[in-house]
Structure 1
Amino acid sequence: MNNRFNKLSLFFYKNSIWFVIVLLIILGAEIYYLKDNFKVNTDLRALFRGTNETVMKLEKMEERVGSYSNILVLVSSPDRKKNIEFLSLLEKEIKDDSKIRFIDFDRDVSYLEERGLLFLPLEEIKEIESEVKKSLAGGVENVLSFGLESESEKEDETVPSFTDEDIDKFSRKVEKYKKKYNIRRYFETEGGTIIAMKVRPSGSDTSVSETKALVDYLESEVEKLNPSSFGVEVEVGGFFRNKIKEMEAINSDIFSTLIMCIVLLSLTIIYYFRSLRSLLIIFFPLSAGVITAAAAMQYFLGDFNIISAFSFAILYGLGIDSGIHLLSRYGEEKEKGSAPHIAMASCYRNLLSAVFSGALTTAIAFFALFFIEFKGFSDFGLAASIGVVTSFIAITVFFPAFVFFNEKIVPLKIRTRKITVLPIIYGALSKRPILLIGLMILLTIASLGALKYIEIEYDFDRLSFPNKYDPQSLSMRYVSGIKKDKTDEISTGLPSYILTDSIEETEDVSRALDVIKEEQPYPIRFKNYFSIFSFVPSDQEEKLRVIRRIKR
Structure 2
Amino acid sequence: MSAAERGTPRTRRLAAFIERRAGLVVLVTLAFAIVAGLGASRLRIDQRLRKLLPDHFPSVSGMDRVAERLGNQSDIYVSIASPSREANVAFGDALAQALEGHPDLRWSLLRRDYAFFERHALLYADIDDLLDLRRRVIERIYEETRTAAYGDLSLLDEGDEAGAGEAGEAGEAGAGSSALGLDEEEIRRRYGLDEGHSEYFEADEGRLLVLKARPIEESTDLEFARRLQSDLEQTIATIDPAGFHADMAVELHGSFVQHGQRVAQLRGDVIGGTAAAMAALLLSIAIYFRSARAVLLVLGPLLVAGVGALGFAWLVYDVLNLVSAFIFAVLLGLGIDFAIHVLARYRDERARGHRRPTALAVTLATTGRSTLAGGAGTGLAFGALTIADFQGFAQFGVVASFGLVLAMITALVVMPAALVLSERWRPWAPPAPRPAAARSWGRLGRPVMVAVTILAVVGAGVAIYGGLHASALEFEYDFRAMGPRQEQDAEQAAEHQVTYRDAIGRAQTVAPA
Pairing of 1:36-435 with structure 2 (within 5 A): 37-109=42-114, 177-178=192-193, 183-204=197-218, 213-231=227-245, 232-415=248-431, 424=445
Instruction: Return the letter of the residue paired with 1:274.
Output: R
Q: Structure 1: how far apart are the matches of 2:124 and 2:318?
A: 54
Q: Structure 1: how far apart are the matches of 2:359 and 2:194?
A: 85
The structure-2 alpha-carbon separation of the partners of 1:54 and 1:207, relative to structure 1 and needing over 3 Å to count, comes to farther
- The one of 469, 474, 484 equivalent to 1:465 is 484
Q: Helix, strand or coil for the counterpart of 2:212?
A: strand
Instruction: Return the letter of the residue paired with 2:266.
Output: I
Q: Structure 2: how far apart are the matches of 1:62 and 1:440?
A: 50
State whether residues 293 and 387 of structure 1, in contact with CA within 8 Å, keep that contact through their aligned partners in structure 2: yes
The structure-2 alpha-carbon separation of the partners of 1:67 and 1:129, relative to structure 1 and needing over 3 Å to count, comes to farther
Q: What's the counterpart of residue 8 of structure 1?
A: 14
State whether residues 190 and 481 of structure 1, in contact with CA within 8 Å, keep that contact through their aligned partners in structure 2: no
Q: Structure 2: how far apart are the matches of 1:115 and 1:353?
A: 76
The structure-2 alpha-carbon separation of the partners of 1:342 and 1:92, relative to structure 1 and needing over 3 Å to count, comes to same
Q: Structure 2: how far apart are the matches of 1:175 and 1:442?
A: 61
The structure-2 alpha-carbon separation of the partners of 1:464 and 1:184, relative to structure 1 and needing over 3 Å to count, comes to same
After TM superposition, the structure 1 stretch with the greater mean CA deviation from structure 2, 71-80 or 38-47, is: 38-47
Q: Structure 1: how far apart are the matches of 2:62 and 2:501?
A: 33
Q: Structure 2: how far apart are the matches of 1:111 and 1:56?
A: 32
Q: Structure 2: how far apart are the matches of 1:228 and 1:128?
A: 59
Q: Structure 2: how far apart are the matches of 1:492 and 1:363?
A: 44
The structure-2 alpha-carbon separation of the partners of 1:348 and 1:206, relative to structure 1 and needing over 3 Å to count, comes to closer
Q: Structure 1: how far apart are the matches of 2:194 and 2:47?
A: 38
Count of residue pairs brought into register by the alignment: 445
Structure 2 gaps, min length 5: 1-6, 134-171, 177-184
Q: What's the counterpart of residue 180 of structure 2?
A: none
Structure 1 residue 107, shift from structure 2 partner: 2.8
The structure-2 alpha-carbon separation of the partners of 1:76 and 1:474, relative to structure 1 and needing over 3 Å to count, comes to farther
**Partner deviation per Cα, 1:91-126 (whole Å, 9 max, x = no partner):** 11213124322233123457888999x99999xxx9
The structure-2 alpha-carbon separation of the partners of 1:353 and 1:425, relative to structure 1 and needing over 3 Å to count, comes to farther
Q: TM-score, normalised by structure 2?
A: 0.74
Q: What's the counterpart of residue 465 of structure 2?
A: 446
Q: Structure 1: how far apart are the matches of 2:174 and 2:238?
A: 53
The structure-2 alpha-carbon separation of the partners of 1:456 and 1:176, relative to structure 1 and needing over 3 Å to count, comes to closer
**Partner deviation per Cα, 1:148-207 (whole Å, 9 max, x = no partner):** xxxxxxxxxxxxxxxxxxxxxx9xx97992587x83211111111101112233334776
State whether residues 22 and 420 of structure 2, in contact with CA within 8 Å, keep that contact through their aligned partners in structure 1: yes
The structure-2 alpha-carbon separation of the partners of 1:393 and 1:476, relative to structure 1 and needing over 3 Å to count, comes to farther
Q: Structure 1: how far apart are the matches of 2:356 and 2:174?
A: 104
Instruction: Return the letter of the residue paired with 1:492.
Output: A
Instruction: Return the letter of the residue paired with 2:100.
Output: K
Structure 1 gaps, min length 5: 131-169, 497-552
State whether residues 202 and 208 of structure 2, in contact with CA within 8 Å, keep that contact through their aligned partners in structure 1: yes
Structure 1 residue 460, shift from structure 2 partner: 3.7
Instruction: Return the letter of the residue paired with 1:222.
Output: I
Q: Percent identity?
A: 25
Q: Helix, strand or coil for the counterpart of 1:191?
A: coil
Q: What's the counterpart of residue 139 of structure 2?
A: none
Instruction: Return the letter of the residue paired with 2:312.
Output: A
Q: Structure 1: how far apart are the matches of 2:298 and 2:307?
A: 14
After TM superposition, the structure 1 stretch with the greater mean CA deviation from structure 2, 231-240 or 83-92, is: 231-240
Q: What's the counterpart of residue 164 of structure 2?
A: none
Structure 1 residue 219, shift from structure 2 partner: 2.3
Structure 1 residue 316, shift from structure 2 partner: 0.8
The structure-2 alpha-carbon separation of the partners of 1:214 and 1:316, relative to structure 1 and needing over 3 Å to count, comes to same
The structure-2 alpha-carbon separation of the partners of 1:413 and 1:389, relative to structure 1 and needing over 3 Å to count, comes to same
Q: TM-score, normalised by structure 1?
A: 0.69
The structure-2 alpha-carbon separation of the partners of 1:209 and 1:41, relative to structure 1 and needing over 3 Å to count, comes to farther
State whether residues 27 and 291 of structure 1, in contact with CA within 8 Å, keep that contact through their aligned partners in structure 2: yes
State whether residues 235 and 474 of structure 1, in contact with CA within 8 Å, keep that contact through their aligned partners in structure 2: no
State whether residues 77 and 210 of structure 2, in contact with CA within 8 Å, keep that contact through their aligned partners in structure 1: yes
Q: What's the counterpart of residue 25 of structure 2?
A: 19
State whether residues 19 and 417 of structure 2, in contact with CA within 8 Å, keep that contact through their aligned partners in structure 1: yes
Q: What's the counterpart of residue 493 of structure 1?
A: 508
Structure 1 residue 352, shift from structure 2 partner: 1.4
Structure 1 residue 288, shift from structure 2 partner: 1.8
